Amino acid sequence: MHVVNLGMIGGGTVGSGVFNALQRNGDLLAKRIGVRINIVKIAVKAFDEPRPYPIPRSYLTTDWRSVVNDPQVQIVAELAGGTTVAREMVLSALRLGKPVVTANKALLSAHGPELFATAKANNTNLYYEASVAGGIPIIKALREGFVGNRITHIYGIVNGTCNYILTRMTRDGMEFDAALKQAQQLGYAEADPSLDVDGLDAMHKTGILASLAHGFWVEPSQIYVEGIRAVTQTDIRFADQLGYVIKLLGIVKRLDADGRAAPRVQVSVYPTLVPKHHLLAGVNDVFNAVFVRGDVVGDTLFYGRGAGKDATASAVLSDLADAALDLKLGTKQRVPAFAEHERYGKVVPIEEVSTRYYVRLEVVDQPGVLAQISSIFGRARISISSVIQPEDHKGTTVPVIMMMHAAQNAAMLHALRQIGKLRVVKSKPVMIRVENLE
């Protein structure tokens, strides 16, 4: 049987997961693809670092260059993380003409075009299925399965930490801080949770999906991001009364009408009201899901574990199989890492995006308040869909909840700034965007 030699960089959670998966299912993989993947060497930070699965000392080195430069190593798997040394690792391997498999979404988000260009210039390839949504094969679906579709919509629950926190707030009535603390105790959130709860991890993944779907590279600076720190139990309860749940969504939405010109695309990450009847509303705990709409295929939904040693290892093995087959058959760029097929595409600024809104105000309980508020919305040409004011609320102020028809973000934010200055409004207005996913 044809044998391909693998060198790995990183032997922690993901790296040891890949090692274990190859030991467990290497024979099965070899029978299915006709190529055996043989691990030659694994670079680690330290020989005695804790890892979920043991790796025999005979495989280990602390010198990543000895892995990349080893003439026996034909494929390099970068599973170390980070964006500085990891960039050097990947570029070094690609310049030697060696295909690279990575799970590093932050690296791709920051340096994707450089990495893809280097792979192409050196007649090799970069594989990154594990970079988005763990074990869900969404990269392969967008790059190969939907190759004959114009992608019009992507909605992704792509951060398990945020989804777990929002699930506990919805299901158990917990406030954000308590739900976050529990996520940290269970190992779902880091001691510094900002990468997850401020939406940055989801931003990296959403940018990769947008780039693949629309054929021009989306830079992180072009993506509008809001995290979930501002979501309160009050908003969770009112959303429930209105028939919605709140999810952190990565949104990629094509805005041009005919779908044939250079695409104008919304690329955003923010908390969103999702109708309870939609399948995405039922994605709970640490699970991920990606909804994709194509002009030929229609609506599809991909669901599974978005992180963890085994789910990520499954995606890495898929890429290793592709890389090994491409080497065996001499087709190193059968499927390019990134096909720039719409270089004149544009990310539309969030100010120009139109959507619906949930608005919560804390106002003085007196006649004429709603008239003042509605007149400001009216002057901004923003239409109110419905209003809820709890009758049993006690105190001198009351919450007023409004569901708004679609309006541009710029107009909505301008109106809310004016409303926030009214003497009858006693706290900063709360706004959460609404997606009906129709």
**Residues labelled catalytic:** 205
H helix count then E strand count, the chain? 13, 17
* Residue 158 half-sphere exposure toward CB, CA atoms < 13 A: 33
CA gap 223, 236 in Å, rounded: 25
CA gap 84, 186 in Å, rounded: 29
- Nearest CA to 265 out of 225, 313, 310, 211 is that of 211
Q: First-to-last CA distance in the chain?
A: 50
CA gap 250, 270 in Å, rounded: 7
DSSP string, 309-338: HHHHHHHHHHHHHHHHHHHHHT-TTSS-S-
Cα 51–chain centre separation = 25
CA gap 6, 68 in Å, rounded: 10
Maximum CA pair distance of the chain? 83
Instruction: Enter the tokens of residue 30.
Output: 């070899």
For residue 10, the 8-state DSSP code is -
The radius of gyration of the chain's CA atoms, rounded to the nearest angstrom, is 24
**Are the C-beta atoms of 107 and 83 separated by less than 8 Å?**
yes
Helix (H) / strand (E) element for 423: namely: none
CA gap 391, 402 in Å, rounded: 15
* Residue 75 half-sphere exposure toward CB, CA atoms < 13 A: 29
CA gap 209, 137 in Å, rounded: 12
The length of the chain in residues reads: 438
